[in-house]
Amino acid sequence: MDFSFTEEEEVFRKEVRDWIKKETPKRWLELDPLLWEETDESWAISREFQKKLGQKGWLAPDYPKQYGGLEMSHMKRLILAEELSYNKAPVGVETEIAVNWVGPDLLLFGSEEQKQKYALGVAKGDLVITLGYSEPNAGSDLASLQTTAVEEDDEYVINGNKIWTSYAHYADYCWLAARTDPNAPRKYDGISMFVVDMKTPGITIHPLINLMNRHSFNEVFFDNVRIPKENLVGKKNNGWYELMIALDSERSGIGYAAMFQRILEELVEYAKERKCDKDPIIRQKLAEMAVEIEVSRMMCYRIAWMYSKNLHPNYEASMSLVFLSEMMRRVAQVGMDIAGPYGELEMDSKWAPLRGKIERLCLNCLSIGVGGGTNEIQRNIIAQRGLGLPRK
């Protein structure tokens, strides 16, 4: 099998790389945020950069042209994602949420008006969308969610609360899963998807501070929140299917392997500085990480190829997420092995190696393998849908 890119694709890669180098502010590279590390300053930088991407059609490059995209091939989209990740471009998780998780669902199931209003706004970089999935008593068993949306005249009235709602305090809209038929024979059958304006009366946002002492997560309460009926996306009570499509997009992880390739390269340079690059144990661990990152990259390439053939990756996306999340934890541990006690220092310490990246990576990696469905859930999906094993 030939994994090489065409000459045209390599030209495109250089174009992207040069553009990122030109447009990425120096201050962003000084901040060097990882996942879930947003501050008001880094948020402002990333939002401005993403609007520049939107102006080029590179924010949602595979979207149809009438909705702000370029109808770019999935392999070029992969190249774009790799270069943005590897070169530390100011693109955060909020972009993944709006562009790659919610946007495709809107294009598949939304009305023309919804596509023009939301998908186009996402592609331009004008909209931030938060996910209204998990609840205090409905995480891995998401179909047990209890937030309700009840029809009243020309509206739906929403009551309930959501948790771990990333960037809800910045978001323009919430992509909300709510129960519309509490009497459905199966709990999966009574769920619908909505787009909810976060400025609607009755919405209260409480911050949740993460392990890195950053405010990225929230708990959101809906108290008699009234939204127009036209904010229902797709068919009523068909939300579980729509939600699963969005989750498969979330789990694919296209581009993340390139980010860890950059981190590995930084760890190799740090090992040389520490004069431990000749240590056979350290060399072995770094080599293992190099191999695992390439495996992760091939999983991402497979998913991109499937999209290019109009195939939908399901258990393949779960495989990618499980491998990526566990690899991330191993990379963090290798960094700690190299740095020793210094690896525990935060970024404001002058003694912190790699400006505290190792400590931040160790804290950050704990949530990976939980978000998007725990690794235990992913293994069930792989077993049942990939291997054909029985549910019990």
Q: Look up residue 283 and give its amino acid.
A: R
Parallel/antiparallel/unpaired status of strands 232-233 and 173-179: unpaired
**CB-based contact 97:36 (threshold 8 Å):** no
Asked if 255 and 82 touch (Cβ cutoff 8 Å), the reply is yes
Options 135, 219, 250, 316, the catalytic residue = 250
Q: What share of the chain is helix, strand, coil (3-state, %, to 5)?
A: 55, 15, 30
Task: Decide if 59 contacts 125 (C-beta within 8 A).
Answer: yes
Closest Cα partner for 3 from 226, 388, 298?
Answer: 298
Residue 219 annotated among the catalytic residues of the structure:
no
Q: Which two tokens stand for residue 382?
A: 């792989």
Q: Which long-range contacts (CB under 8 A, 24 or more apart) does 354-357 make?
A: 354/266, 354/267, 354/270, 355/32, 357/32, 357/34, 357/263, 357/266
**Rg (the chain; Cα; Å):** 21
Active site residues: 250
